[in-house]
């Protein structure tokens, strides 16, 4: 079998599984609920800046969205593998001619699509700021890029935690715990010895998101989020591989 044929089969499998997962999101209330809650909460803090502070800026939106993502991402990923294990459909799925990597990638891509669509709706806030003020283009680009990178890493880690249990609530709690820990690390630096302070800071979401929100695109920040994403996807794939044995 030629490499081109293999590539065609792999991409076809991922595309078919991806469409199935995305359809499952929008055929249920999950997508609509989490998108609505996110947009309402983010929109509330955005409008506070305009009407109470009198500033047309996205700074509060980006800062608050980080915290909202700590809840939003587990809600999006908790069902991806836990539900399949609970219903028994995962056992059926692994008997098909698809690899564990294809299953994991398709589910991750579906979660990322939902997240990206949600962020796209927030362009209403961006257009408002452009009309009322003069936003820093670099900071805006970096802010959105940071949220996408955090989302990618979070969805990968959430996918892994979903592979650890059949219970969606447990999967949510596990993913929330991991993301909240990464979110809070930089706030604990004052309690850490100086010898490990730099490492703890580097492991935190906030350190890298702060750089990006200033419009500074640093390879170290891209490497951090990419590494977390690959780690989460690899761990989830390994879990599926264990179920085949």
Domain ranges of the chain: 3-244
Q: Closest Cα partner for 174 from 75, 245, 91?
A: 75
Classify residue 46 as exposed, middle or buried by CB count within 10 Å of its CB (0-12, 13-18, 19+).
Answer: buried
pLDDT class for 1, splitting at 50, 70, 90?
very low
* Interval 66-87 mean pLDDT: 90
Average predicted confidence (pLDDT) for the chain:
85
Tell me the C-alpha distance between 169 and 236, whole Å. 18
Q: What are phi and psi of 99, to 5 degrees?
A: -90, 165
Per-residue pLDDT, 196: 80
* Residue 115 in tokens: 């997240």
Tell me the C-alpha distance between 70 and 37, whole Å. 13
Q: Which residues contact 142 (CB under 8 A, 6 or more apart)?
A: 211, 212, 213, 214, 215, 216, 217
3-class secondary structure per residue, the chain:
CCHHHHHHHHHHHHHHHHHHHHHHHHHCCHHHHHHHHHHHHHHHHHHHHHHHHCCCCCHHHHHHHHHHHHHHHHHHHCCCCHHHHHHCHHHHHCCCCCCHHHHHHHHHHHHHHHHHHHHHHCHHHHHHHHHHCCCCHHHHHHHHHHHHHHHHHHHHHHHHHHCCCCCHHHHHHHHHHHHHHHHHHHHHHHHCCHHHHHHHHHHCHHHHHHHHHCCCCCHHHHHHHHHHHHHHHHHHHHHHHHHHC
Comparing 47 with 112, the larger pLDDT belongs to: 112
Per-residue pLDDT, 5: 36
* Residue 237 in tokens: 């794939």
pLDDT class for 51, splitting at 50, 70, 90?
low
What is the tens place of the pLDDT at every residue in 100-112? 888 999 999 999 9
What is the tens place of the pLDDT at every residue in 189-242? 777 777 787 788 888 998 899 889 888 888 999 999 999 999 999 999 998 887
Least confident of 24-33, 54-63, 139-148: 54-63
Q: How far is CA 187 from CA 183, 184, 190, 200, in A?
A: 8, 5, 7, 10
Tell me the C-alpha distance between 228 and 155, whole Å. 10
Tell me the C-alpha distance between 177 and 191, whole Å. 20
pLDDT class for 128, splitting at 50, 70, 90?
confident
* Interval 16-41 mean pLDDT: 88
pTM: 0.88
What is the tens place of the pLDDT at every residue in 170-191? 999 999 999 999 998 887 777 7
Query: Virtual CA dihedral for 83, 88, 93, 96, nearest 10 degrees?
Result: 180
pLDDT class for 138, splitting at 50, 70, 90?
confident
* Residue 67 in tokens: 């915290």
């Amino acid at each position: 079998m030629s490499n081109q044929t293999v590539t065609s089969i792999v991409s076809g499998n991922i595309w078919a599984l991806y469409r199935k997962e995305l359809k499952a999101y929008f055929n249920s209330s999950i997508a609509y609920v989490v998108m609505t809650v996110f947009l309402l909460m983010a929109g509330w803090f955005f409008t506070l800046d305009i009407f109470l502070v009198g500033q047309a800026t996205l700074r509060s939106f980006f800062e608050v969205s980080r915290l909202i993502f700590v809840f939003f991402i587990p809600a999006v990923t908790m069902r991806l593998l836990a539900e399949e294990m609970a219903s028994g459909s995962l056992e059926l799925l692994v008997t098909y001619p698809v690899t564990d990597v294809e299953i994991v990638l398709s589910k991750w891509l579906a979660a990322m699509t939902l997240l990206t669509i949600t962020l796209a709706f927030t362009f209403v806030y961006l257009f408002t700021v452009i009309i009322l003020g003069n936003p820093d283009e670099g900071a805006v680009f970096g802010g959105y890029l940071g949220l996408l990178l955090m989302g990618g890493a979070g969805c990968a880690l959430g996918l892994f935690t979903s592979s650890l249990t059949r219970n969606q609530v447990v999967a949510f709690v596990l993913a929330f715990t991991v993301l909240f820990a990464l979110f809070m690390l930089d706030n604990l630096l004052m309690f850490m010895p100086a010898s490990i302070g730099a490492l703890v800071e580097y492991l935190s979401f906030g350190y890298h998101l702060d750089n990006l929100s200033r419009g500074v695109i640093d390879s170290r920040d891209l490497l951090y989020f990419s590494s977390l994403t690959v780690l989460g996807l690899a761990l989830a794939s390994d879990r599926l591989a264990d179920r085949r044995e």
